[in-house]
Chain A
């Protein structure tokens, strides 16, 4: 697919870019508020540029076909699969990765512990809503994108936002508990649990975090 001139330039002033001898074109990507000039193949996906060129490794390759959500980033505030996004088409877009989240942006700034984290990140931390955490950036950014357009989402909206995300380790109940906290939804009990013999270890997934 070299017919790049057929693609309308987005905010790039309408320039037609001709690939160089290596099949690459120069692109300026605005990532986490800073411009980065990179030379990318016309077929190169944003995920690879972020990881290989910009060393932003919080977005991860899981499936390569937009099914697992591990590569999720924010493009102009919307959660997108960076494994399906051509880097050359991102010029002019406001790209944000997990590395670009900060507590000061909007909901944060409350200081104290985790002050450098966003409200969503803090909720994930407090609920320990991860195991290996390979998927965590994606879940967090999906929720950030939702909360940016709907500060009081329903639980159904949260689940919809997570529908393109897989956690193979199985942290779903704690992810939902963290999401409910971040979204201001009431916490919800799981199937009750208690002692059989000896001490209880059951820690219900949906209960409030605490010490």
Chain B
């Protein structure tokens, strides 16, 4: 295959042999001597007062050690009853009200997991049902059921989110981006387009479900847990038990996938509390149906109004978006910020007025999810771009070319953007897919082929802090101590490669720790595609700090001035005198220091004003484009993606294979989101909580051919690639579908049923892919000249 360059370092395959022999130390393998097994009893009511929880029969079941209930926690006292990363609104176990079907009410603890499961079915819960609300627009309307009578307490440590909650409307936060005068610009614009687009809740569905073993005996709390956010979980547990941070230990080995769903405490609090009460370690391993109701992708609905000139230049955008937070806020109060600037898209728009609300409803809590808020935004604005282009008679690629952000442009946040590559990336994907502005759909019987494109901008979490320790051992090998979590993204081999590159040593000499908060230094979280950018930089700084110590020691040993000593190729040598040198091992050995530590801290500054959205939104901006060629069977509505080309700006790339993996992983999520992934609820009851009913892409769902071009710049920082390739996929497919059939799908997923209904409606109206488009799935199209 062409396009491979040899100068890209191949990282060591840290742990690779373990991964093909079944030995990877997943959290699900953790066992602690004497541990008991817990099974959660979950609410069957969407919204209710708890009248009673009868645990008698369960307690009498042979082998049951305890049944922990919310009432028991209230009676015991001495521990907080609620938790949550931003606001503490989620009960460890429900004690007063339940707010979604699947909410934990009791934990049955037994020596055998099967006994715990059997006994859990014996717990009888009595409910006093309350009116429930599931839709974001209904939840914010006057007279809607209210989920929280009082505003929940904040987590005092989570200070970078300003809350504009309105709990009377079930709104747990609002974020606005306001720049220029959108109203005035719209009223004087040549054309205004307004549409509603929707995305459903979806499941991240990591193959390893949430699992935790907690030991809260004595004056410490230890959890071995499948979290992406060990230091946040540590803080959340410390708050729960009123302990100093150093009495809470969070240990995280390998995760079997995360994708956002394993961010922030989930089942750790109930396991820890149960362990404290029972006096033994307690393990909880979620079944697949439980996983689906533990953290979901946010459902979202947006009304998007965009004003353009006759030449297709965007002059203003207004948007009102509501993300469905589910029953508890979780990280939704931060997500609205990403959604707000995200809805601007990668375009230069002088007048912007975007409001994004996170709305609590009686559905399972929505959390972090690969593409954090941007998938839903891009689904809307990238389809609208095509609608506008067609209405104005402008080619879809040309429409984007005229509006895409360029170096020096001001973003909606007031930031002046640099290092933008959108136009080159657009050229790349259009070339790869064979974009022809005049192309007509290709028909072969019922099969119709066409192409679509989309463009996305995405930020990373800012401000952000990572710290790393790098340790040089007596034999010259190096350890990186980090609290970044290895969840399959290849963070460990990539960090090893980065540190080896800096020291000029064989990557095989560098090891990377798993997480143990007793030993590994602070990292904010493993989310937002930030690890290689943030922890990578911290590791480099730690390496530099260690090198400085090596130089000082080597200077003494070599009887030289420290300023004359350099570390090159794994040796400390006197500059200009190659014969006067010592290996790193010799420096440690001869100076009798045992080992050498370097410390590195990387902090990014920034943040946006929640009322205006002005400030610094992101330390760098992910730029991602996609082009899809699809084939739709107009007799059945089934869509197949034939080819997909992605192009992204990646900055400095540390691990080329890992980068490729991340992009393909995004495509798997994109294909699933585009074509079939949807959590289907019936009055709050999830109806497809199984991998037999909730489909995720298999090999045969993937395009026949796909690939990603990465624009790189080794003088720029590393841009994480965990997410950016995902958001363009679904709108590119939808745009291709429209070009093929004239059917415009406003609500994800692009299911065969929706497509077929659209095709049939299009036939009845006599449309042929031109002009109006077949509105399906709740979107209103409208244009006024």
Interface segment out of the listed A1-9, A87-95, A168-176: A168-176
Q: Residue of A at shortest CB range from B690?
A: A65
Q: Map CB proximity to B onto A158-186 as digits: 1 under 8 Å, 0 otherwise.
A: 01001101111111111110000000000
CB within 8 Å for A134 and B208 given contacts A190-B706, A196-B710, A204-B707: yes
Complex CA–CA separation, A56 to B468 (angstroms): 34
**Contact of A196 with B424 in the complex, beta carbons under 8 Å:** yes
Asked if A34 CB lies within 8 Å of chain B CBs, one says: no
Contacts A135-B207, A198-B712; A191 near B660 (Cβ below 8 A): no
Q: How far is the CB of B608 from chain A (nearest CB, A)?
A: 29
A59 at the interface (CB under 8 A from B): yes
Is B577 among interface residues, defined by CB-CB distance under 8 A?
no
Given the known inter-chain contacts A125-B13, A191-B432, please indicate yes or no for A196 contacting B668, CB distance below 8 A. Answer: no
Interface residues of B (CB under 8 A from A): 1-5, 7-8, 10, 13, 16-24, 26, 28-29, 114, 205-209, 254-257, 259, 287-288, 421, 424-425, 428, 432, 487-490, 643-645, 647, 650, 653, 656-657, 659-661, 664-669, 690-692, 696-700, 702, 705-714
What are the interface flags for A184-211 relative to B under an 8 Å C-beta threshold, 1 for contact and 0 otherwise? 0000011111111111111111110001
Partner of A203, one of B4, B16, B207, B712: B4
Q: For B1, what are the chain A residues with a Cβ–Cβ distance below 8 Å? A: 189-190, 192, 204, 206-207
Whether A201 touches B656, Cβ cut-off 8 Å, given contacts A70-B207, A206-B1, is yes
Interface: A146 (CB within 8 A): no
Whether the pair A197, B208 counts as a contact (CB closer than 8 A) is no
- Contact yes or no, A68 B661, CB < 8 A: no
- The 8 Å CB contact of B661, one of A101, A166, A170, A191, is A170
Q: Is B712 within 8 A of A201, CB to CB?
A: yes
A137 pairs with B22, CB closer than 8 A: yes
How near does chain A come to B184, taking the closest CB pair, in angstroms? 39
Is A131 engaged at the interface, CB distance under 8 Å to the other chain? yes
Q: Find the A residue at minimum CB distance from B648.
A: A196
Is A67 a contact partner of B17 (Cβ separation < 8 A)? no
Given contacts A68-B207, A168-B668, contact A98 B22 (CB under 8 A): yes
The residue of chain B having its C-beta at the shortest distance from the C-beta of A160 within the complex is B700
Give the nearest-CB partner of A140 in chain B: B20
Q: List 15 A-B contacts (CB under 8 A).
A: A41-B114, A58-B22, A97-B22, A98-B21, A132-B208, A132-B257, A170-B666, A172-B664, A190-B706, A191-B644, A193-B707, A196-B421, A200-B4, A200-B712, A202-B656
CB distance B424 to A193 under 8 Å? no
Interface residue from A60, A133, A170 paired with B667 (Cβ < 8 Å) = A170
Contact, CB under 8 Å: B712 / A125: no
| Most interface-central of B20, B660, B665, B690 (chain A CB within 10 A) | B20
Indicate which residue in B432, B664, B691, B698 contacts A63 across the interface (CB closer than 8 Å): B691
Shortest Cβ distance from A90 into chain B, in angstroms? 18
Q: Which of A60, A65, A117, A171 contacts B208 (CB 8 A)?
A: A60
Chain A residues contacting B17 (CB-CB under 8 Å) are 114, 117, 125
> Given A98-B22, A117-B20, A204-B707, is A195 in contact with B3 using a C-beta cutoff of 8 Å?
yes
Whole-angstrom CA separation of A79 from B650 in the bound complex: 40
Chain A contacts of B4 at CB under 8 A?
A: 200, 202-204, 207
Query: Which has the most chain B C-beta neighbours within 10 Å: A70, A122, A169?
Result: A169
Q: Which 4 A-B pairs rank lowest in CB-CB distance, beginning with the nearest? A: A58-B22, A132-B488, A134-B256, A170-B668
Q: How many angstroms between the C-alpha atoms of A61 and B286 in the bound complex?
A: 10
Given contacts A192-B432, A200-B5, contact A170 B665 (CB under 8 A): yes
A168–B707 CB distance below 8 A: no
Q: Provide the bound-state CA to CA distance between A193 and B558, in Å.
A: 49
In the assembled complex, the CB of B468 is this many whole angstroms from the nearest CB of chain A, namely 22
Query: Known contacts A133-B19, A202-B707; can you find 17 more A-B pairs with CB under 8 A?
Result: A44-B114, A56-B22, A67-B690, A128-B657, A132-B24, A132-B206, A134-B256, A137-B22, A159-B699, A165-B698, A166-B698, A168-B696, A194-B709, A197-B424, A199-B653, A200-B712, A206-B1
Q: Are A169 and B690 in contact (CB under 8 A)?
A: no
The reply to whether B661 and A60 form a contact with Cβ atoms under 8 Å apart is no
- Point out which of A101, A163, A196 has the most chain B C-beta atoms below 10 A from its C-beta: A196
Determine whether the beta carbon of B664 is less than 8 Å from that of A199.
Answer: no
* B664 lies within 8 A of A205 (CB): yes
By beta carbon, the residue of chain B nearest A58 is: B22
B21 touches A121 (CB 8 A): yes
Within the complex, what minimum Cβ distance (angstroms) separates B293 from chain A? 15
Please tell me if the beta carbons of B19 and A200 are within 8 angstroms of each other in the complex.
no
Closest-CB distance, A156 to chain B (whole angstroms) = 11
Q: Which residues of A contact B207 (CB under 8 A)?
A: 60, 62, 68, 70, 132, 134-135, 166, 168
> Do A163 and B700 form a contact, CB below 8 Å, given A200-B4, A200-B5?
yes
Contact A191-B665, Cβ < 8 Å, known A62-B288, A196-B711 = no
Name the B residues within 8 Å of A10 (CB-CB): none
Q: How far is the CB of B13 from chain A (nearest CB, A)?
A: 7
When distances are taken between beta carbons in the complex, the residues of chain B under 8 Å from A70 are 207
Chain A residues with CB under 8 A of B7: 199
Per the bound structure, the CA–CA distance linking A80 and B758 in Å amounts to 41
In the bound complex, how far is the Cα of B277 from the Cα of A58, in angstroms? 33
Which residue on B lies nearest to A122, using beta carbons? B20
Chain A contacts for B425, CB-based, 8 A: 196
Question: How far apart are A86's CB and chain B's nearest CB, in angstroms?
Answer: 14
A82 contacts chain B at the CB level, 8 A cutoff: no
Give chain B nearest CB distance to A151 CB in angstroms.
20
A194-B709, A197-B711 are known contacts. Are A68 and B691 too (CB-CB below 8 A)?
Answer: yes
Write the chain B residue with the least CB distance to A135. Answer: B207
The interface residues of chain A lying within 8 Å CB-to-CB of B669 are 170
CB-defined contacts of A117 to chain B, threshold 8 Å: 17, 20-21
Quick check: A196 and B205 within 8 Å, CB to CB?
Answer: no
Most buried by A among B16, B21, B288, B667: B21
- Give Cα A202 to B656, complex, Å: 7
Measured between beta carbons, the chain B residues less than 8 angstroms from A211 are 10
Q: Which of A48-105 contact B (CB under 8 A)?
A: 56-65, 67-68, 70, 97-99, 101
Residue of B nearest to A171 (CB): B661
Return the contact of A132 from the options B21, B23, B254, B709 (Cβ within 8 A): B254
Shortest C-beta distance, B65 to chain A (Å), equals 16
| Inter-chain contact B702/A166, CB cutoff 8 Å | no
Pair B713/A58 contact, Cβ less than 8 Å: no
Q: Which residues of A contact B661 (CB under 8 A)?
A: 128, 131, 169-171, 174
Task: Determine the distance from Cα of A187 to Cα of B8 in the docked complex, in whole angstroms.
Answer: 22
CB distance from B689 to the nearest CB of A (A): 11
Residues of A within 8 A of B708 (CB): 193, 202
- Complexed CA–CA distance, A77 and B698 (Å): 24
Q: Are A61 and B487 in contact (CB under 8 A)?
A: no
**A119–B455 CA distance with the chains assembled, in angstroms:** 42
Say yes or no: A170 contacts B664, CB within 8 Å: yes
Q: Quick check: B700 and A159 within 8 Å, CB to CB?
A: yes
- Expressed in whole angstroms, the minimum distance between the Cβ of B45 and any Cβ of chain A is 25
The answer to whether A169 touches B23, judged by C-beta atoms less than 8 angstroms apart, is: no
Q: Which of A56, A166, A172, A197 contacts B713 (CB 8 A)?
A: A197
